[in-house]
Amino acid sequence: MVDLGKMFSRKKEEKISPYEEAFVRKLEKKSERFFRIGNFMKEEDYSKLSGAFYSELRAISHNLKTFLDHYGAKENKKFVFFRELVASTRWLAKAITPMMHIEKRYDSYNLGDKEKEKREFFYDLEKNLKFYDESIRLLYKETEKEAKNFFNITRKKIEERGFLDEPITSKLPYNIELTETEKEEIENVLVDCIRIGHSLEEFLEKKEIKEEKIDKFVTSCHDLQTRYDTYITDTFMEKDDKRFSRLRGKISISLHLFETATDLVHFYERHESSIRHDETRERISKLINSSDVMNSIENFNLKYATKYIFRMKNIASDLLRDHAGIAREKLRIPVGADGIHLRPATLIKKIVEKHGGNVFFEVGNKKYNASDILETLDAVGHVLEIKDMQTDISVSLNTITESIKKENPEVVIDGKKYDSGLITKILDSLRNSLKKDENIRMIDIIVQGNKNAVDDIHNLALCGFGKYGFPPAIKDLEEILTGRR
């Protein structure tokens, strides 16, 4: 029953509008299922609750939040905190659901973890699950307290449901050969596993923990899982090579870790940062410490997602080599201030010609043919254009120097006149020092193609493209490249 005395006890001078009275009646009715599931949770120990329970809590919270948003509670001083409590419950219930799924399915992922690794993972998993559950209970307790300002909440509980589907114990045998198109799709899945690994390396270097950044990994992993199930699950290839099932497990566990990380970052950004009203933010922060949320994101979700993504990348790299004869590597190559020179590009071209096959450099979404000298120069130049400030400095110095030589202007610095010839000598000296200092100029670039060609290019890059001699790993390559027999 709506208690209008309670509703307006803190501000008796405010006039009770018919609209607010009608809204509270609707809110009481709409909230009943939320408080029923909360009452069920209060009487059950955390260890007895299933992922299906939190999934139901998420759905109920989402429906209630949508109702509140429809009526403008987010912009109303009386109801904004109630709305934020419900929204916070929704996001934490959403975050805990994938973790409960991991707990249940861990063994089926066939991750290949050692027993010590498994114990460490489950210790961290349980610690974080308890943190999520305790946070949800704190939010629910505060939501009850807030709701009592408006109406008398129900004491009834939601009906207990298992929310469990009947498991599939067996499938029909797979007896259809792979088509060439399907083989190509499998190669693409493996390549994208490696690509995600490289993307994660870049993410960790920048360490921008934002919802939209992590959500990209959710999308990528979900896409990989779907394509794996479409083209690889239950094939002869998967049955013959157990590495495929381990790959699938690492895709799945990474997906769920990133899902939870995304939801927690959303909670952190929307309900604990300065985005929200100061009073509401402070009241939520008193219930759940923002540093605890970020600690969970960094030291559990991202920690283990990184571990499994990198292992996924390594397995995919091995499978790609063994099943398709293709390698995809991130190479670190030395370049001068003006980019890679003609000789290294020529050596790369000869390696590709020696082994045959399609080999290309990848920068962004564009591919450059490694057997074409000009395209190799363009690929490296594009990387430098994106990432290397030193090239910009070198080119700018050259532009300024040529302009001074051509126009011969009067150079005045702090009121003193300087001969333009002296200035050009100083700029030339600085530019030449940049060009000589090649050791600090290392760039990363992706190369993909024939595994033998990629391996030779990799080894060649390690020895400075022959500057420090040729490594033993490249048999007879020096003779082929230099033309000496």
Q: Tens digit of pLDDT for each residue in 237-281?
A: 888 899 999 999 999 999 999 999 999 999 988 765 555 566 787
What is the rounded distance in angstroms from the CA atom of residue 316 to the CA atom of residue 243? Answer: 9
| Range picked from 94-98, 271-275, 333-337, 348-352 for highest mean pLDDT | 94-98
Among residues 359, 376, 317, the alpha carbon closest in space to that of 453 is found at: 359
| Mean pLDDT along residues 224-240 | 90
What is the rounded distance in angstroms from the CA atom of residue 308 to the CA atom of residue 55? Answer: 25
178-181 long-range contacts, Cβ below 8 Å, gap at least 24?
178/235, 178/236, 178/237
354 or 424, higher pLDDT: 354
Which tokens in the block code for residue 414?
A: 């702090």
| CB-CB neighbours of 300 under 10 Å | 22
- CB burial class (10 A; 0-12, 13-18, 19+) of residue 169? exposed
Q: Is the pLDDT of residue 197 over 70?
A: yes
What is the rounded distance in angstroms from the CA atom of residue 113 to the CA atom of residue 254? Answer: 14
C-alpha dihedral sign at 16, 22, 25, 26: negative
Cα separation values, 57 from 46, 65, 255, 291, Å: 14, 12, 21, 25
Query: What proportion of the chain, given as a percentage, has pLDDT over 70?
Result: 77
Question: For tokens 């009073």, what's the residue?
Answer: 279
Query: What proportion of the chain, given as a percentage, has pLDDT over 90?
Result: 45
What pLDDT is attached to residue 37? 93
> H-helix or E-strand containing 449?
strand 442-450
> Could you tell me the residue ranges of all domains in the chain?
1-158, 172-324, 326-482
What does the pLDDT look like over 46-100, one tens digit per residue? 788 888 899 999 999 999 999 999 999 888 888 899 999 999 999 999 999 999 9
- Among 118-127, 174-183, 241-250, 285-294, the least confident range: 174-183
Q: Is the pLDDT of residue 111 over 80?
A: yes
What does the pLDDT look like over 401-456, one tens digit per residue? 667 776 777 767 667 777 777 777 777 776 666 555 544 467 788 999 999 999 98
With bands split at pLDDT 50, 70 and 90, how would you rate the model's confidence at 168?
very low
Burial 77-109 (b: 16+ CB within 10 A, else e): ebbbbbbbbbbbbbbbbbbbbbbbbbeeebeeb
481 or 58, higher pLDDT: 58
| Mean pLDDT along residues 194-222 | 93
Q: Crossing angle of helices 342-355/373-387, nearest 10°?
A: 120
DSSP state of 474: S
What pLDDT is attached to residue 211? 93
Which tokens in the block code for residue 425?
A: 């000598």
